């Protein structure tokens, strides 16, 4: 007998029907049909819609599937034992037809359900109120023919080398390296879309508690959805080393662009870029997130048609790594390349950083965009010294005062919010 579970009466029809089938573990053979968009929680007990009571490694509410018109996302709900997808532990990730996910020995596969042809078997009856439906099936034999058992990304010929495969992605060329991570182009093996993947260095002696804390902290990055922030698509672990999958942008050198402009254009462009950066920070700060690593390499410039656009990258990954207590990252590694943009209080205690450290770093970035140099050429002895407005004679006095206020050594004398600094800069983004 089928059991129907109503989830979201307001949801729209999904263009496809999907089947979840337990392929291994105590509940092997159980399956469910997903017919509409909505959230489905999997766990051992109520209020999970799918309950696998005989899997001891499962938390009460362990993971969530979010079914949308164009994608399905798997999210670990801060579980005790973690969630894996295609053999890789993930915090949040896209699930494609043929993928397998689960916990411990339990494996669940996502399959597409073929729509019946005209004159064939009618679809499962809809409830009187439009809703996401889960149909629990105890028999697996009847539907074997309609399930695609091909693992995600498995091709008939010339598969990528195993050491270049991480979960659902095949690594491409190296895009850059930093103190704690490397960034690669990565192609999703099923959709063939290209992304940027940041691979954090593996650290020996990592505890399960540290991994859980890092996953919880870094998982916040996936919730950031703003047009001025590089979108993060997936976060997980590969051999206990974290990785983050992000949108891939055709980045161009922003400093080279502004260096080629005359003074009025340079001022207008630098202030425009900074106000867009501040829009991203305003959004993040209101969510309680401090970036703590604002610098030119994390401000990605690209062109959309003929128009210059910018997005802020690298939200919180280094911060989360430090907050999780990973001892393998030294002070030198964590501040290398960023000392010039670091507020004095952050230099003394990075973990206690408030949003004003991002204001300080934004001010240093603006200074460099406007002048082509940093406030201090010697960066080995500590954070930047105070900036005096009279040291910036090429700038309008009011703009020089804005820059100087942004990089005040005393955080209480800086702009207290991204919104406040953006409002001060706005007149300088306009054509005279």
Of 110-114, 205-209, 367-371, where does mean pLDDT reach its minimum? Answer: 205-209
Tens digit of pLDDT for each residue in 45-84? 988 999 999 999 999 999 999 988 778 889 888 888 889 9
Cα(first)–Cα(last) distance of the chain, in Å?
74
pLDDT of residue 416: 96
> Which of 141-155, 216-230, 253-267 has the highest average model confidence (pLDDT)?
253-267
CA distance 338 to 210: 25
Q: Where along the chain do its domains lie?
A: 13-112, 165-247, 254-327+334-428
pLDDT of residue 332: 44
Residue 363 is encoded by which pair of tokens?
């001010």
Per the annotation, binding residues for ATP are 198
For domain 165-247, give its CATH number from 3.40.50.1100, 3.30.200.20, 3.30.920.30, 3.40.1550.10. 3.30.200.20
Instruction: Indicate if the pLDDT at residue 418 is higher than 50.
Output: yes
Instruction: Indicate if the pLDDT at residue 3 is higher than 60.
Output: no
Of 427 and 148, the structure prediction assigns the larger pLDDT to 427
Give the 3-state secondary structure of the chain: CCEEEECCCCCCEEEEEEEEEEEECCCCCCEEEEEECEEEEEECCCCCCEECCCCCCCCCCCEEEEECCCCEEEEECCCCCCEEECCEEEEEEEECCCCEEEECCEEEEEEEECCCCCCCCCCCCCCCCCCCEEEEECCCHHHHHHCCCCCCCCCCCCCCCHHHEECCEEEEEEEEECCCEEEEEEEECCCCCEEEEEEECCCCCCCHHHHHHHHHHHHHHHHCCCCCECCEEEEEEECCEEEEEEECCCCECHHHHHHCCCHHHHHHHHHHHHHHHHHHHHHHHHCCCCCCCCCHHHEEEEEECCEEEEEECCCCHHHHHHHCCCCCCCHHHHHCCCHHHCCHHHHHCHHHCCCHHHHHHHHHHHHHHHHCCCCCCCCCCCCCCCCCHHHCCCCCHHHHHHHHHHCCCCHHHCCCCHHHHHHHHHHHHCCC
pLDDT of residue 78: 81
The Cβ of residue 394 has, within 10 Å, a number of other Cβ atoms equal to: 11
pLDDT of residue 143: 33
Of 160-164, 230-234, 257-261, where does mean pLDDT reach its minimum? Answer: 160-164
- Looking at the domain that runs over 13-112, which CATH code has it been given? 2.60.200.20
pLDDT of residue 211: 63
Please indicate whether the domains covering 13-112 and 254-327+334-428 agree at the CATH topology level.
Answer: no
Contacts of 420 (CB under 8 A, 6+ apart): none
State the pLDDT confidence band at 15, using cuts at 50, 70 and 90. Answer: low
Tens digit of pLDDT for each residue in 305-346? 889 999 998 875 555 555 555 544 434 444 444 788 888 888
pLDDT of residue 87: 80
Residues noted as catalytic: 293
Over range 104-121, report the average pLDDT: 74
Over range 394-416, report the average pLDDT: 92
Of 325, 336, 235, 243, residue with least CA distance to 293: 336
Kindly report the pTM of this predicted structure.
0.67
- Mean pLDDT of the chain, nearest integer: 77
State the pLDDT confidence band at 157, using cuts at 50, 70 and 90. Answer: very low
Of 271 and 205, the structure prediction assigns the larger pLDDT to 271
Of 132-146, 214-228, 320-334, where does mean pLDDT reach its minimum? Answer: 132-146
Percentage of residues of the chain with pLDDT beyond 90: 39
Tens digit of pLDDT for each residue in 252-305? 999 999 999 999 999 999 999 999 999 999 999 998 888 888 999 899 999 988
Tens digit of pLDDT for each residue in 334-389? 444 478 888 888 877 766 788 999 999 999 999 999 998 888 643 444 555 556 66
State the pLDDT confidence band at 129, using cuts at 50, 70 and 90. Answer: very low
Domain 254-327+334-428 has CATH 3.40.220.10: no
pLDDT of residue 209: 64
């Amino acid at each position: 007998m089928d059991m129907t579970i109503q989830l979201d009466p307001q949801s729209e029809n999904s263009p496809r029907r999907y089947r979840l089938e337990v392929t291994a573990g105590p509940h092997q053979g159980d399956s469910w049909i997903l017919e509409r968009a909505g959230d489905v929680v999997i766990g051992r007990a109520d209020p999970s819609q799918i309950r696998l009571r005989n899997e001891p490694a499962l938390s009460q509410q362990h993971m969530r599937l979010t079914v949308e018109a164009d994608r399905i996302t798997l999210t670990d709900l801060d579980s005790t034992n973690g969630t894996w997808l295609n053999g890789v532990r993930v915090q949040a990730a896209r699930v494609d037809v043929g993928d397998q996910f689960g916990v411990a020995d339990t494996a669940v596969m996502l399959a597409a359900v073929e729509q019946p042809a005209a004159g064939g078997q009618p679809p499962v009856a809809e409830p009187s109120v439009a809703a996401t439906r889960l149909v629990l099936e105890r028999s697996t034999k009847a539907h074997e023919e309609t399930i695609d058992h091909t693992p995600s990304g498995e091709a008939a010929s010339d598969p990528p080398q195993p050491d270049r495969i991480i979960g659902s992605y095949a690594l491409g060329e190296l895009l850059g390296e930093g103190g704690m991570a490397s960034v690669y182009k990565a192609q999703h093996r099923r959709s063939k879309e290209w992304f940027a993947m940041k691979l954090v260095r593996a650290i020996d002696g990592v505890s399960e508690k540290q991994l859980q804390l890092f996953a919880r902290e870094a998982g916040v990055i996936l919730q950031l959805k703003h047009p001025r922030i590089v979108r993060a698509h997936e976060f997980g672990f590969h051999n206990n080393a974290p990785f983050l999958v992000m949108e891939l942008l055709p980045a161009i050198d922003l400093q080279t662009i502004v260096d080629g402009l005359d003074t009025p254009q340079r001022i207008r462009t630098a202030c425009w870029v900074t106000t867009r950066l501040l829009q991203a920070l305003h959004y993040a700060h209101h969510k309680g997130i401090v970036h703590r690593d604002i610098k030119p390499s994390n401000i990605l410039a690209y062109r959309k048609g003929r128009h210059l656009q910018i997005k802020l990258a690298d939200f919180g990954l280094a911060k989360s790594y430090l907050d999780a207590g990973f001892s393998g990252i030294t002070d030198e590694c964590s501040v290398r390349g960023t000392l010039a943009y670091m507020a004095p209080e952050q230099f003394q205690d990075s973990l206690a950083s408030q949003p004003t450290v991002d204001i300080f770093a934004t001010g240093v970035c603006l200074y460099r965009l406007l002048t082509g140099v940093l406030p201090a050429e010697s960066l080995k002895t500590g954070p930047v010294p105070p900036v005096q407005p009279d040291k910036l004679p090429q700038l309008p006095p009011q703009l020089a005062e804005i820059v100087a206020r942004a990089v005040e050594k005393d955080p209480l004398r800086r702009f207290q919010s991204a919104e406040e600094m953006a409002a001060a800069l706005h007149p300088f983004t306009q054509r005279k």
